[in-house]
């Protein structure tokens, strides 16, 4: 318990808010934590400060044939609302069995538990049944373009399975929605504000677009773990002044999509909703800011059983299979690298991105035990 708490605290204490990121600032903490296990570490830095670490744990029986397990975790965290926290977000404290701090649940606690699992195994007098490679990556919170996506593009993701210790309260996440972020600019015709019907208000038309898109039914068949796709209009700005009919209005749409939906299909579905908003002669532009495919792993894949059995052995509870309504870096591992990935970590996703974010100390300990069991068994199963 002391080890996983102290490592989590050390990681949370490093401010890696994204933007701007600066994952290089936490590299020393990660290197020090992995050093007792003889890790060989390489750095990937596609932009200044945006560092990912690839750490290979040497096996005592070099040369023998074993599968490779990847542990993928992101080092960046989301911003904080200054003054809204009861605890300093980067001065982590433990109170009433909870470790408070930005990134404690999402997901520095999970990374710490996975590293500490190596020590658990060593103290038990065991060696891993697999080769283990840690991918401690940048930029997940802003889409992964400077992190796991770089690893995928450069062909650096090699393994037989991947564990992603994002917060699931140790449930097994095998599916997640994809993400389309689109900028929609609605155009109008300016005029004097005292004569609102002599021009065309982009704000008025954009309001119709919002009502047509936000929380709309896109007609997709619901997924058994992910439900129906969603759309959220999360930003809006428009007009140049109160006394001028608005010439333009800008919206940012966050659309979550199901496995099998392509970028072209997601955009087409969004356009259909926009163009059905009831505005005659609507003029607008749509530009894709981010697209990430949905991903899933077959529930019958053997690695699902490996992780599920480890959770049951360590905690006495058989974990449920779940889906996530949001995206993680598991999508790059599954879709681009073709490696089966299960997301399973300490902490509740309800704590992610919140004020006074916390993770239960007991769940950090449970997670370390679960991961040690995975390290000990992956590769020894028939």
- Is there a catalytic annotation at residue 76? yes
Two structure tokens written together for 279 = 């505005």
Residue 255 near residue 180, CB atoms below 8 Å = yes
Respond yes or no on whether the N-terminal peptide bond of residue 19 is cis (omega within 30° of 0). yes
Residue 169 near residue 362, CB atoms below 8 Å = no
Q: Choose among 218, 257, 215: nearest CA to 232.
A: 215
- Is there a catalytic annotation at residue 95? no
DSSP state of 141: G
Which residues partner with 256 through β-bridges?
Answer: 179, 230
Two structure tokens written together for 254 = 């966050």
Q: Phi/psi at 44 (nearest 5 deg)?
A: -125, 120
**Dist CA 212 CA 207 (whole Å):** 9
Given the structure tokens 């001028």, which residue do they identify? 244
**Dist CA 46 CA 94 (whole Å):** 36
Q: Choose among 226, 230, 206: nearest CA to 218.
A: 230
Q: Which of 76, 106, 139, 176 is catalytic?
A: 76
**Dist CA 62 CA 82 (whole Å):** 50
**Dist CA 180 CA 232 (whole Å):** 10
**Dist CA 239 CA 203 (whole Å):** 7
Two structure tokens written together for 20 = 């701007």
Alpha carbon of residue 347 to chain centroid = 14
Q: Which of 23, 106, 139, 140 is catalytic?
A: 140
Q: Which residues are catalytic?
A: 76, 140
């Amino acid at each position: 318990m002391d080890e996983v708490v102290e490592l989590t605290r050390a990681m949370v204490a490093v401010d890696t808010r994204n933007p701007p990121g600066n994952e290089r600032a936490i590299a020393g903490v990660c290197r020090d934590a992995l050093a007792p296990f003889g890790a060989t570490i390489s750095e990937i830095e596609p932009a200044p400060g945006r560092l990912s670490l690839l750490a290979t744990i040497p096996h005592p029986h070099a040369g023998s044939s074993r599968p490779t397990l990847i542990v993928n975790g992101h080092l960046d965290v989301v911003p904080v609302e200054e003054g809204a926290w009861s605890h300093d977000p980067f001065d982590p404290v433990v109170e009433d069995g909870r470790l408070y701090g930005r990134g404690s649940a999402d997901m520095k606690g999970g990374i710490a538990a996975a590293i500490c699992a190596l020590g658990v195994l060593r103290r038990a007098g065991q060696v891993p049944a697999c080769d283990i490679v840690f991918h401690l990556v940048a930029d997940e919170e802003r889409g992964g373009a400077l992190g796991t996506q770089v690893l995928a593009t450069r062909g650096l993701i090699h393994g037989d399975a991947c564990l992603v210790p994002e917060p699931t309260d140790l449930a097994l996440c095998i599916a997640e929605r994809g993400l389309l972020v689109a900028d929609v600019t609605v155009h109008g015709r300016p005029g004097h504000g005292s004569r609102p019907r002599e021009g065309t208000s982009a704000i008025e038309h954009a309001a119709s677009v919002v009502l047509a898109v936000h929380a709309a039914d896109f007609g997709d068949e619901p997924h058994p773990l992910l439900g129906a796709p969603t759309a959220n209009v999360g930003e809006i700005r428009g007009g140049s002044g109160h006394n001028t009919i608005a010439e333009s209005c800008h919206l940012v749409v966050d659309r979550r999509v199901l496995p099998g939906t392509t970028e072209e299909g997601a955009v087409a579905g969004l356009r259909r909703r926009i163009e059905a908003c009831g505005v005659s002669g609507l003029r607008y532009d749509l530009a894709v800011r981010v697209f990430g495919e949905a991903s899933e792993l077959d529930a019958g894949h053997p690695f699902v059983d490996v992780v599920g059995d480890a959770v049951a052995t360590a905690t006495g509870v058989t974990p449920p299979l779940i889906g996530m309504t949001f995206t993680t870096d598991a999508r790059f591992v599954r879709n681009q690298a073709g490696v089966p990935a299960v997301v399973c970590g300490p902490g509740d996703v309800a704590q992610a991105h919140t004020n006074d974010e916390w993770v239960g100390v007991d769940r950090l300990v449970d997670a370390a035990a679960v991961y040690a069991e995975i390290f000990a068994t992956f590769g020894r199963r028939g």
